[in-house]
């Protein structure tokens, strides 16, 4: 599962016919594909003057072209009058390296996530202007994954999801009755609404999951977004492939960033490739390379989020409920003494083991659902199911030898999305097996290149909060 949705790559399978997004989050069902700017055409500001809330229409609606400080005047002007420059995306229409550093350092996880999502979206568009927008770039996928991560980071649907999951789990009440029966034989009070109490404790511990998602979101953006910004700055306006220039650019990648170096090398080739199939394969190779790098980086957060629920979350919560009940309401003031004796003998653990295991499964399911769902303009994907879309014609088979080699390493079912669903999102191999098919199937989906709405935002990044206040 994944904290991968914390950024771009970690999406999940199974699309349903309609996107499962609420009114505030929903992207327009049918936004014009023209939202994705054609190659080498100037980027039109995301927010036209009429779209900017009146109260803030005088402020910047775009990234600053310099780090720090308030809105950039040039950018504000650009928002009011779309620029059509000859050299690709204009400064201020996508985040600078300094902007990305400022965004990732925001301690407010929810506000930071919104900035990250918007940053990815603008980088995706700017990158599309440079290398071509007929194929999604990694930042395009990152936009939607980051948007989904925000739902988890803000905790919008956790309490209800947990309560529903417990209520709907077969056999849960039986296990609860077993615990209460155990207490009864000890002459101890029954625990009223034990499922509800347990759900409350478990939701409380979801902070850990939210923290892991937020940290993954930050970590990936901090490393990868600046590279997109640098690439755009370096290669926008170029009219021919310059191997020496590309080599110089790629020199700045450090050991451990080979995947990023390979990716941006491939983007550079794709930028000037005129054959649609060859170009599509170069873009896929680049996107996959970043995906693999990102998933490697995210492994600690993913493992932390998914592999600790029973011992570190469910069992302590249940034992606390029992201890409190016995201590506060046992007969003759003997409850605490009795609990301690039973616990020392291992009999509390033994008694709650069936309920703990079942609750752990519920916790993991909810956590997994949180990490293994990706809302896109083309539907809600579930990572545990196969990618529900066929590959586009020019990616049906692969001829690029680098791409073939790459797919041979991670794609268990070549040239089909069957078998792409991830069984265990904590497994790097399971994630990559899914992700390479996701990228391949959706690379030319124009809906993916639309701009997500950013409700409630002013668009200002200058103060590091959602509304710039």
Partner 1 sequence: MAVPADLLGKWIPDAAAGETGEGPFAELEFRKDGKLRYALKGEGLDEALVMDFRTEGHVIVTRPPGANADAKTKYEVGQDGSLILEYGGQKGRYVKAS
User: Would you say 184 or 252 has its CB closer to partner 1?
Assistant: 184
Give, in order, the Cα–Cα distances in Å from 345 to each of 10, 132, 312, 383. 44, 67, 20, 42
Instruction: Decide: is 332 part of the binding site for partner 1 (CB under 8 A).
Output: yes
Instruction: Decide: is 390 part of the binding site for partner 1 (CB under 8 A).
Output: no
Give, in order, the Cα–Cα distances in Å from 160 to each of 80, 129, 169, 293, 312. 42, 42, 14, 34, 21
Half-sphere exposure of 165 (CA within 13 A, CB side): 24
Give how many residues touch partner 1 by CB under 8 A: 24
User: Would you say 270 or 342 has its CB closer to partner 1?
Assistant: 342
Q: Which residues are 380's β-sheet partners?
A: 375
Residue from 38, 73, 87, 331 touching partner 1 (CB under 8 A): that is 331
Question: In whole angstroms, what is the distance from residue 451 CA to residue 429 CA?
Answer: 30
Site for partner 1 in 347-376 (CB under 8 A): 347, 351
By CB under 8 A, which span of 58-66, 105-113, 178-186, 197-205 interacts with partner 1? Answer: 178-186
Instruction: Decide: is 190 part of the binding site for partner 1 (CB under 8 A).
Output: yes
**What would you measure as the largest C-alpha separation in the chain, in angstroms?**
87
Provide the minimum distance between the beta carbon of 328 and partner 1 in the complex, in angstroms, as a whole number: 7
Question: In whole angstroms, what is the distance from residue 294 CA to residue 299 CA?
Answer: 9
Provide the minimum distance between the beta carbon of 176 and partner 1 in the complex, in angstroms, as a whole number: 16
R_g over Cα of the chain: 25
Instruction: Decide: is 187 part of the binding site for partner 1 (CB under 8 A).
Output: yes
Provide the minimum distance between the beta carbon of 337 and partner 1 in the complex, in angstroms, as a whole number: 5
Provide the minimum distance between the beta carbon of 350 and partner 1 in the complex, in angstroms, as a whole number: 8
User: Would you say 171 or 181 has its CB closer to partner 1?
Assistant: 181
Instruction: Decide: is 193 part of the binding site for partner 1 (CB under 8 A).
Output: no
Provide the minimum distance between the beta carbon of 193 and partner 1 in the complex, in angstroms, as a whole number: 13
Instruction: Decide: is 159 part of the binding site for partner 1 (CB under 8 A).
Output: no
Give, in order, the Cα–Cα distances in Å from 286 to each of 137, 298, 449. 8, 18, 17
By CB under 8 A, which span of 118-126, 182-190, 248-256, 276-284 interacts with partner 1? Answer: 182-190
By CB under 8 A, which span of 50-58, 335-343, 385-393, 424-432 interacts with partner 1? Answer: 335-343
Provide the minimum distance between the beta carbon of 166 and partner 1 in the complex, in angstroms, as a whole number: 23
Residue from 241, 345, 390, 397 touching partner 1 (CB under 8 A): that is 345
Question: In whole angstroms, what is the distance from residue 138 CA to residue 135 CA?
Answer: 10
Question: In whole angstroms, what is the distance from residue 303 CA to residue 311 CA?
Answer: 14
Instruction: Decide: is 240 part of the binding site for partner 1 (CB under 8 A).
Output: no
Residue from 287, 325, 368, 376 touching partner 1 (CB under 8 A): that is 325
**41 Rama sector, left if φ>0, alpha if ψ -120 to 50, beta otherwise:** beta
User: Would you say 242 or 340 has its CB closer to partner 1?
Assistant: 340
Residue 433: in which H helix or E strand, if any? helix 428-442
Tokens of 412: 């268990």
Question: In whole angstroms, what is the distance from residue 192 CA to residue 464 CA?
Answer: 45
Backbone angles phi, psi at 373, to 5 degrees: -125, 140
Binding mask 56-85 for partner 1 (x = CB under 8 A): ------------------------------
Instruction: Decide: is 337 part of the binding site for partner 1 (CB under 8 A).
Output: yes
Give, in order, the Cα–Cα distances in Å from 8 to each of 68, 291, 309. 26, 8, 25
Residue from 26, 82, 182, 416 touching partner 1 (CB under 8 A): that is 182
Q: Footprint of partner 1 on this chain (CB under 8 A)?
A: 181-182, 184-190, 325, 328-334, 337-338, 341-342, 345, 347, 351
């Amino acid at each position: 599962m994944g904290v991968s949705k914390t950024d771009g790559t970690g999406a999940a399978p199974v699309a349903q016919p309609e996107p499962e997004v609420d009114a505030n989050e929903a992207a327009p069902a049918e936004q014009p594909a023209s939202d994705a700017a054609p190659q080498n055409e100037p980027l039109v500001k995301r927010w036209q003057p009429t779209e900017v809330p009146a109260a803030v229409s005088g402020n910047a609606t775009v990234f600053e072209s310099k780090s720090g400080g308030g809105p950039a005047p040039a950018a504000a002007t650009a928002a009011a009058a779309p620029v059509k420059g000859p050299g690709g995306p204009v400064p201020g229409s996508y985040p600078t390296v300094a902007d990305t550093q400022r965004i990732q350092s925001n301690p407010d996880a929810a506000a930071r996530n919104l900035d990250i999502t918007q940053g990815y979206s603008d980088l995706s568009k700017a990158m599309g202007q440079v290398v071509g927008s007929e194929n999604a770039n990694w930042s395009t996928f990152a936009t939607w994954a980051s948007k989904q991560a925000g739902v988890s980071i803000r905790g919008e649907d956790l309490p209800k999801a947990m309560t529903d999951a417990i209520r709907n789990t077969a056999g849960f009440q039986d296990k609860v009755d077993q615990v209460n029966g155990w207490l009864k034989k000890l002459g101890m009070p029954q625990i009223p609404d034990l499922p509800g109490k347990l759900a409350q404790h478990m939701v409380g511990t979801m902070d850990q999951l939210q923290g892991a998602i937020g940290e993954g979101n930050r970590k990936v953006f901090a490393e990868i977004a600046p590279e997109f910004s640098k690439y755009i700055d370096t290669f926008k306006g170029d009219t021919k492939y310059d191997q020496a220039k590309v080599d110089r650019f790629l020199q700045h990648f450090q050991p451990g960033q080979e995947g990023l170096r390979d990716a941006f090398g491939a983007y550079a080739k794709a930028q000037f490739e005129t054959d649609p199939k060859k170009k599509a394969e170069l873009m896929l190779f680049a996107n996959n390379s970043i995906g693999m790098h990102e998933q490697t980086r995210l492994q600690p957060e993913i493992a932390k989020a998914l592999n600790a629920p029973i011992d570190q979350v469910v069992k302590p919560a249940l034992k606390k409920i029992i201890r409190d009940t016995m201590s506060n309401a046992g007969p003759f003031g003997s409850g605490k003494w009795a609990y301690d004796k039973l616990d020392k003998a291992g009999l509390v653990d033994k008694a709650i083991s069936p309920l703990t295991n079942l609750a752990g499964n519920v916790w993991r399911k909810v956590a997994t659902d949180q990490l293994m769902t990706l809302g896109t303009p083309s539907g809600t994907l579930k990572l545990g199911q196969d990618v529900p879309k066929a590959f586009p014609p020019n990616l049906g088979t692969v001829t690029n030898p680098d791409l073939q080699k790459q797919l041979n390493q991670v794609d268990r079912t070549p040239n089909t999305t069957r078998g792409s669903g991830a069984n265990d999102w904590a497994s790097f191999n399971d994630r990559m097996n899914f992700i390479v098919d996701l990228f391949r199937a959706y690379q030319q989906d124009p809906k993916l290149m639309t701009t997500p709405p950013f409700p409630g935002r002013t668009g200002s990044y200058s103060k590091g909060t959602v509304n710039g206040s």
